[in-house]
Amino acid sequence: MIDSANAQRQTAEYATYDEAFRRVAALVDRTLTASPIVIREYTSHLARSNGKYLRTASLLACAMNTDDLVHRDAVLIASAIEIIHLATLVHDDIIDNADLRRGEPSLQKKFGKRTAVICGDYLLCAALRIASGAEDRSSYVSRGIPDYMSKVCLGELNQHIHSGDNRLSVYRYLKIIAGKTAALFEAAFHGGALLAGDDDHAIKRYAKLGKYVGMIFQLTDDCMDYEATEETAKKPVRSDYDQNVVTLPLIHAFRRVDGLREKSNAGPITFEEIGEAVRASGGLIYTRMVAKKYRDKALATLDSLELTDAKRERLLDILNKAYRVF
Q: Is the pLDDT of residue 229 over 60?
A: no
pLDDT at 8: 47
- Residue 326, pLDDT score: 42
pLDDT of residue 65: 97
The yes-or-no verdict on residue 306 having pLDDT over 70 is yes
Domain count, the chain: 1
pLDDT in tens, 267-281: 888 888 999 999 999
**How much is the average pLDDT of 157-177?**
95
Domain that holds residue 10: 2-322
In this structure, what CATH number is given to the domain that contains residue 33?
1.10.600.10
* Predicted pLDDT at 191: 96
Q: Is the model's pLDDT at 235 over the cut of 80? A: no
pLDDT at 5: 45
Q: How much is the pLDDT for 30? A: 97
pLDDT value at residue 325 = 56
Mean pLDDT of the chain: 91
Residue 184 has pLDDT above 70, yes or no: yes
Comparing 232 with 133, the larger pLDDT belongs to 133
Percent of the chain at pLDDT exceeding 70: 91
pLDDT digits (tens, 9 = 90+) for 25-37: 999 999 999 999 9
Query: Above 50 in pLDDT, residue 289?
Result: yes
Print the SS3 string covering the chain. Answer: CHHHHHHHHHHHHEEEHHHHHHHHHHHHHHHHHCCCHHHHHHHHHHHCCCCCCHHHHHHHHHHCCCCCEEECHHHHHHHHHHHHHHHHHHHHHHHHCCCEECCEECHHHHHCHHHHHHHHHHHHHHHHHHHCCCCCCCCHHHHHHHHHHHHHHHHHHHHHHCCCCCCCCHHHHHHHHHHHCHHHHHHHHHHHHHHHCCCHHHHHHHHHHHHHHHHHHHHHHHHHHHHCCHHHHCCCCCHHHHCCCCCHHHHHHHHHCCCHHHHHHHCCCCHHHHHHHHHHHCHHHHHHHHHHHHHHHHHHHHHCCCCCHHHHHHHHHHHHHHCCCC
